[in-house]
Amino acid sequence: MGTPAMILFALRERDRLSRVGDEVWATLSGGPAALVGGGVATRLVTVIEPGARVPRKGSVRWWLERRQARRSALIVAADRPTAVAFALSMKLDLSRIRIERFARSNESRTRLRRELHRSAVSSTAWHSAPR
């Protein structure tokens, strides 16, 4: 997919994903959810597919994928080496990435949905922290 096509795809996905109900699931490849708004980003679960390769740094694909990963509420990878490779390349906090071998299974989705809900309920702004 060329650069203009990737950006157009991300724009189309932004509109589609803004109409999705509860949590929003998107793969990282190509950064389809890179341009979603803040309300969608709070529900965004990004899945790094098994065997995914880190794009070349500075490319449009790298920018889109990095933007999506950094905006995601949760990031899921199939294995630790993949999670570490993406975290290092995109300067992500490794603690934000969950390892779920079968992210598409019902058990994994239920567990991740629970964690997403728990983080949304318990997250407070740094200036609102209890004293």
**Torsion over CA: 23, 27, 32, 33 (sign):** positive
Successive 10-residue mean pLDDT values, the chain, 131 residues: 83 85 86 88 89 90 94 92 92 90 82 78 49 43
Instruction: Name residue 44's amino acid.
Output: L
The per-residue pLDDT for 37 is: 86
pTM, 2 dp: 0.79
Distance CA 105, CA 17 (A): 21
